[in-house]
């Protein structure tokens, strides 16, 4: 039985070895082609850009609302040895805590201006995980139920969501009015592997005076993993899992049986020549899982009123065995498919030009996961209208941390453009003491980029600069009377 839980835990942790996408600093770097990833309305300032195969853009992110690695592993009495510190973890937990991570690898991408449209295409490999755990569950697991006398310790809201999938994305953006530019990206998805908790409800109530217990649990876990066999006992309870030994990397990479669809939306709206509002809504979609499906369910309840002839238990060992029997999952062999939604992300920001080559920006980014919002706030200063340089510095408030200082740079050297961006540079050097860390880097080709495209005014020959303060001047037409006088 221990092996079953160990394998499930390792599966979950395998998703957590990758890093939750933030890209707050990138959002306002509109002169980088990669800004289109977080706002489909953004167009390249060059006629054509092509990402370096497999190195177009690689992004890795990690976010934890509760604790840091240093909270989990600490030293004692000046020793260099690390010790697991569950007390610190429990003390940091408040309500529902979210641990997220993801990694994106863009294998191929390109963008091209065609008449009034900017068209994009990309092939991406993505792995994401969103794990939610309740403070009650952590406190109950480590400190026992004494602290919950007279009230319920709840497990409602515990969620696991690990996704790995291919993404083929097709995008287009266009100016539809003099001051509105909109973008849409349609995405075809193919799931590779998944662990998804569709629901978890449960509680443990401890009577304040008698210590009588009422316990209830109802949880479902759906998986799409290379499991060859699920071994169960006579009651259908899972005792072991056997994974396929002949499963190879190519079996994963060429898995196109789990189909899904997604869409990204974006807009840019200049109020005037100095102030621009922009926003996007990303990852609206679902993956339908049909291959290598296994479902596990835990459901049961128990009432404990002390050891004795009327309790149903004659020893603590019997009580423990009963609890283990309730929480041990059974294999659901009836259902054959399930779906898991993507996690939507909303970006809303505004920039104001403070210099010919600098603007200031404010961005609100929010993720919606299981009916709960996870917001962040970023302020930044960004370069504009440079031929070879795109740069940004940012400061982000997220997960109760106040040291998220980010920066990004894009440099064009001839036909090659490089970018390196992070929302939390100090976190990259203090991985053991940060709740947020991310980085994005990559290479692109921008051949013959000698004419800059203005996204708000296009002609077949290229871009025409747009002056929002332009006022037409009218010439006075001479009257017929004046013309006659000139003849005289």
- Render pLDDT for 8-56 as a digit per residue (tens, 0 to 9): 333 433 333 333 446 899 999 998 999 999 999 999 988 899 999 989 9
Q: What is the pLDDT of residue 468?
A: 38
Predicted TM-score of the model (pTM): 0.81
How much is the pLDDT for 300? 84
Instruction: State residue 342's pLDDT score.
Output: 92
Residue 142 domain boundaries:
2-487
What local confidence, expressed as pLDDT, does residue 400 receive?
65
Could you tell me if 154 and 93 are in contact, meaning their C-beta atoms sit under 8 angstroms apart? no
- pLDDT < 70 regions, the chain: 1-22, 77-79, 306-319, 399-401, 451, 456-488
Which pLDDT score, from 0 to 100, does residue 330 have?
Answer: 87
- pLDDT value at residue 222: 92
Q: Which of 183, 360, 347 is nearest to 275 (CA)?
A: 360
What are the pLDDT digits (tens) for 172-202?
A: 999 997 789 999 999 999 999 999 988 788 8
Q: How many domains does the chain have?
A: 1
List all residues 6 or more positions away from 66 whose beta carbon is below 8 Å from its beta carbon.
Answer: 89, 92, 93, 94, 97, 99, 435
219 close to 203: Cβ distance less than 8 angstroms: no
Residue 424 near residue 7 (C-beta atoms within 8 A): no
CA distance 197 to 183: 33
* Paired residues of 127 in beta bridges: 103, 164
Contact indicator for 124, 104 with CB cutoff of 8 Å: yes
HSE-CB for 161 with a 13 A CA cutoff: 26
Residue identified by tokens 């669809």 is 261
pLDDT, position 478: 52
Query: Smallest Cα–Cα separation from 23: which of 60, 56, 50, 54?
Result: 60
457: nearest Cα among 76, 174, 105: 174
Q: Which sign does the torsion angle of CA 5, 11, 16, 17 carry? A: positive
Is 415:50 a contact under the CB 8 Å cutoff? no
């Amino acid at each position: 039985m221990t092996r079953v839980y160990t394998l499930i835990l390792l599966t979950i942790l395998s998703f957590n070895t990758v890093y939750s996408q933030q890209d707050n600093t990138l959002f306002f770097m509109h002169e980088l082609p990669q800004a289109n990833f977080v706002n489909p309305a953004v167009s390249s300032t060059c006629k054509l850009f092509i990402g370096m195969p497999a190195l177009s853009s690689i992004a890795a992110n990690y976010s934890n609302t509760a604790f840091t690695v240093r909270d989990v592993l600490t030293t004692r009495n000046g020793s260099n040895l690390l010790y697991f510190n569950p007390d610190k973890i429990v003390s940091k937990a408040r309500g529902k805590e979210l641990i997220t991570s993801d990694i994106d690898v863009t294998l191929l991408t390109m963008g091209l201006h065609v008449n009034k449209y900017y068209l994009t295409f990309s092939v991406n490999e993505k792995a994401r995980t969103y794990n939610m755990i309740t403070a009650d569950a952590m406190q109950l697991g480590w400190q026992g139920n004494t602290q919950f006398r007279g009230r319920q310790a709840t497990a409602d809201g515990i969620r696991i969501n690990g996704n790995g999938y291919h993404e083929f994305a097709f995008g287009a953006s266009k100016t539809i009015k003099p001051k509105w530019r909109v973008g849409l990206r349609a995405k075809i998805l193919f799931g590779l592997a998944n662990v998804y908790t569709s629901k978890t409800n449960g509680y443990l109530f401890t009577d304040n005076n008698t210590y009588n217990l009422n316990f209830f649990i109802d949880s479902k876990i759906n998986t799409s993993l290379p499991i060859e066999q699920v071994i169960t006992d006579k009651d259908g309870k899972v005792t072991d899992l056997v994974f396929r030994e002949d499963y190879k990397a190519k079996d994963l990479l060429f898995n196109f049986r789990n189909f899904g669809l997604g869409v990204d939306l974006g807009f840019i709206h200049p109020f005037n020549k100095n102030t621009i509002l922009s926003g996007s809504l990303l990852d609206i979609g679902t993956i339908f899982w049909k291959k290598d499906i296994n479902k596990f369910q835990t459901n049961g309840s128990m009432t404990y009123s002390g050891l004795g002839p009327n309790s149903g238990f004659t020893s603590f060992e019997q009580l423990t065995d009963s609890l283990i029997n309730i929480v041990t999952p059974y294999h659901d062999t009836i259902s054959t498919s399930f779906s898991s939604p993507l996690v939507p992300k909303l970006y809303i920001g505004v920039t104001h030009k403070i210099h010919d080559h600098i603007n200031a920006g404010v961005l609100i980014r929010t993720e919606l996961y299981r009916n709960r919002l996870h917001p962040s706030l970023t302020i930044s200063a960004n370069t504009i209208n440079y031929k070879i340089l795109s740069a940004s510095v940012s400061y982000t408030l997220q997960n109760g941390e106040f040291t998220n200082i980010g920066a990004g740079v894009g440099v064009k050297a001839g036909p090659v453009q490089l970018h390196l961006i992070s929302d939390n540079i100090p976190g990259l050097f203090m991985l053991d003491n940060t709740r947020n860390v991310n980085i994005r880097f990559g290479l692109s080709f921008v051949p013959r980029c000698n004419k800059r495209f203005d996204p708000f005014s296009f002609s077949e020959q290229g871009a025409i600069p747009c002056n929002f303060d332009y006022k037409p001047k009218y010439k006075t037409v001479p009257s017929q009377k004046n013309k006659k006088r000139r003849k005289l």
